[in-house]
Amino acid sequence: MGADAPLRRGLGLRDSVVIGLGAMVGAGVFAALGPAAGVAGSWLLVALGLAAVLAYCNAMSSARLAALYPVSGGTYVYGRERLGEFWGYLAGWGFVVGKTASCAAMALTVGSYAWPAYAHAVAVVAVLLVTGINYVGVQKSALATRVIVGLVLLVLAAVVVVGIGGDHAEATVLDKEIGPYGVLQAAGLLFFAFAGYARIATLGEEVRDPERTIPRAIMLALAGALTVYALVAVAALLTLGSGGLAAAHDPLARVVTAAGAPWLAPVVRAGAVLAAVGSLMALILGVSRTTLAMARDGHLPRALAAVHPRYAVPHRAELAVGAVVAVLAASVDLRTAIGFSSFAVLGYYLVANLSAATLTAEEGRPARWVPVVGALGCVVVAFALPLASVLAGLAVLACGAAVYHLRGFTGV
């Protein structure tokens, strides 16, 4: 198929919800709670609530826009149509770069849990396997994600039951003064784990009845993820306390061990690997579809817009994204990838909220406060992230803007 060939609409509501859950109930729930507790302490649940409010606003804005523009690309398309080509390009640039870093973080989580001594090598293998699954069709990816999400939810249910009902003698309080900045920074770290609902919007061209399916799938996936995160956070705080949770590199495995069920720790580690693989699968799907949309418009090499004649997927974009992620997974640090990704993706959602603010009542706009709170929240939380992440994110976004304007000036 050529560059303008449409993708196949094969995803229903259930598969769309599962893809969103696979991106959210992934490595974040196994990895983000510890670092977030380290800066928020006993205010962790407040930070989780702030991240959820921000995610809700972003999800509502994205859902309304996705129903109006049910094609691949997500906020890249919304920004282009509502604010102008530059803003769409900048959103797409931020998404592709930020989520590529997220893919590397998920792959490194697989390596860290599966074989810590060879984490980078295992991460590269995971990227290659997931890219291969995505290459043969999004329906097969949805089926694999459904199996992974089901198993991970069973593992998390065991953590919640054991953590809430087990021994709490090892719980300690974080010996650190916590202020508003720490809570906001924790919200930014936890938002990294929530942001997966965008996968549903970026797959808009492959969803059946997108005007109804996409908004419903986004809200159902977000509600499910929030419920899971809240229950796990409560279990972890009861068992380890904010101090023990902040000190743990593998917090959920520590929860079941401290609660009196050490035999469950290997199961939890296996669940973490499955969760990270599911999240990686959904992330690569989303990044490749935004790459497809930008290639169609000439902002990336047009060769990346090709759709496979048999599998009906953007196979060149899939392979290109997989190759870049594999290189990053072999070379970058996990926490660096998470911080940088959070800043870039919050910039992406800033454009989504600004785009939603332009919708009319006839176009199905959300409540007026939703995009306002979403946009302000994106800015505040993004600049509350660690300084290195902020500076790196600003530099990459500025680089993308410079390339855009240089191309326009030279006519390339």
Instruction: Taking the CA atoms of 110, 348, 37 and 335 in sequence, report the sign of the dihedral they define.
Output: positive
Asked if residue 139 has pLDDT above 60, the reply is no
Q: Residue 140's pLDDT is what?
A: 55
B/e letters for 285-297, b = 16+ CB within 10 Å, e = fewer, are bbbbbbbbbbbbb
For residue range 231-258, what is the model confidence (pLDDT) as tens digits? 999 999 999 999 999 988 788 989 999 9
Q: What pTM, to 2 d.p., does this model score?
A: 0.83
Percent of the chain scored above 90 by pLDDT?
A: 45
Between CA 101 and CA 259 the distance in angstroms is 34
Compute CA distances 35 → 41, 56, 176, 196, 285, whole Å: 10, 22, 14, 19, 27
Amino acid letter, 407: R
pLDDT confidence of residue 412: 46
Interval 393-408 mean pLDDT:
89
Q: In the predicted model, is pLDDT for residue 130 greater than 60?
A: yes
pLDDT, residue 198, reads 63
pLDDT in tens, 283-296: 888 788 878 888 88
pLDDT at 199 over 70: no
Q: Are 275 and 27 in contact (CB under 8 A)?
A: yes
pLDDT above 80: residue 397: yes
Confidence of residue 202 (pLDDT cuts 50, 70, 90): low
**Which pLDDT does position 222 carry in this prediction?**
87
In the DSSP assignment, the letter for residue 300 is S
pLDDT at 411: 47
Domains along the sequence of the chain with CATH: 13-406 (1.20.1740.10)
Distance between CA atoms of residues 109 and 283, nearest Å: 14
**In the predicted structure, residue 182 carries a pLDDT above the cut 60:** yes
pLDDT category, 155, cuts 50, 70, 90?
very high
345 vs 96: CA distance, rounded Å: 9
241 to each of 39, 43, 394, how far by Cα in Å? 13, 11, 35
Would you report the helix, strand and coil content of the chain in percent, each value rounded to 5?
Answer: 80, 0, 20
Q: What per-residue confidence (pLDDT) applies to 138?
A: 56
**Contact between residue 382 and residue 343 where contact means Cβ atoms under 8 Å apart:** yes
> CB neighbours of 293 closer than 8 A, spacing ≥ 6?
71, 72, 73, 74, 76, 77, 92
> Over the stretch 61-96, which tens digit does the pLDDT of each residue have?
988 898 788 776 778 889 999 999 999 999 989 988
For 115, phi then psi, to 5°, come to -155, 80
CA atoms within 13 A on the CB side of 31: 30
The residue count of the chain comes to 412
Separation of alpha carbons 270 and 250, rounded Å: 12
| Mean pLDDT for the chain overall | 86
Measured CA to CA, the distance from residue 110 to residue 49 in angstroms comes to: 27
Instruction: Say if CB 9 and CB 206 are below 8 A apart.
Output: yes
Q: What angle separates helix 44-68 from helix 33-40, to the nearest 10 degrees?
A: 120
**pLDDT (mean) for 4-11:** 63
